[in-house]
Amino acid sequence: MKKYLRAYLISLQETLQRRSSLVMDRLGGVAVMLSLYYFWKTLLSGRPAFLGYSYPQMLTYVLGMNILRSFALTGRGWELVGEISSGKISSYLVRPLNYHGYALALDLSQKTVHLFAALLEIGALLIFFHPPFYLQKSVAAMSLFIGSLLMASLLFFFLEFLVSSLAFWTSESGGPLFFFELFIQFAAGAFFPLDVLPRLLQKGLSLSPFPYLVFLPINIYLGRVGQGRALQDLLISFVWTVVFAAASLHVWRKGLASYSAEGG
């Protein structure tokens, strides 16, 4: 455990030292947040509610998307793809560590930095623009929200690890990951609440793991999901996480076998 904690701390320092890259990432996130904020603010102008969301709830959903993007949907999939494609992955395989645990420690360090940056950005927006903000006061609801946030982060980690591991078999290793990142933003509700979609599409997505990444955690915070339903959603999210953890481990082992057989 100590070696993974050390990896987390070292990666945390390295992430903070790459200030220019961090600033560019955050500026991109702020641009998306402000664009969506003004879009929904204009759309809801003069309306007390939209699709069951009150005006403060909808604007809070937009701000919540920034937090979920920064913590749950932040990962190091491109680094893993690069390490596999370049052969750098070999240097990790001879070390006395579990690569999944090591990757999770590095992933958590990035998420920590981006989460605090997102909270600062939202705080600045609240101070300077004074938007109506839905403040959740229920301790139980906040606890369920934090639990769903942590589960969403783990679920995304294994989803991204699974897709990134396809680099063992394809020279176009970034293609699947690029498509995955685009699709998941839409399917998770990271651009808009999934309520705006046609019923049939909503039903289809509800059978997938994607709403548990953004849409459902924010709705738990907004109090639109009862505690019983929220606990059920957490359990389903946990099951999805276990399924994709097992799948990513299986694909990883298959990839390593293929990699070793080819002389990697």
Exposed e or buried b per residue across 123-145, where buried means at least 16 C-beta atoms within 10 angstroms of its C-beta: eebeeeeebeebeeeeeebeebb
Which domain covers residue 91, as residue numbers? Answer: 2-261
Which residues, 6+ apart, have CB-to-CB distance to 258 below 8 Å? 168, 169
**Tell me, what's the pLDDT at 256?**
84
- For the chain, the domain total comes to 1
**Tell me, what's the pLDDT at 224?**
92
Query: Along the 264 residues of the chain, how does pLDDT read in single tens digits?
Result: 788 888 888 888 887 887 787 788 888 888 888 888 888 888 887 777 788 888 889 889 988 998 998 899 988 888 888 888 888 888 877 777 888 888 999 999 989 998 998 998 898 888 888 888 888 999 999 999 999 999 999 999 999 999 999 888 876 667 888 889 889 989 999 988 998 899 999 999 999 999 999 999 999 999 999 999 999 999 999 999 999 999 999 999 898 887 754 545
User: What's the predicted TM-score (pTM) here?
Assistant: 0.90
Tokens of 136: 């959740």
Tokens of 105: 């420690």
Q: What is the DSSP string of 130-184?
A: ---------HHHHHHHHHHHHHHHHHHHHHHHHHHGGGGT-S-THHHHHHHHHHH
**Tell me, what's the pLDDT at 261?**
43
8 Å CB contact between 212 and 237: yes
Q: How many residues does the chain have?
A: 264
The CA distance from 251 to 244, in Å, is 10
**Tell me, what's the pLDDT at 183?**
92
Which residues, 6+ apart, have CB-to-CB distance to 84 below 8 Å? 164, 165, 167, 168, 173, 255, 259
8 Å CB contact between 49 and 61: no
Instruction: Determine the residue type at 160.
Output: E
First vs last C-alpha separation in the chain: 28
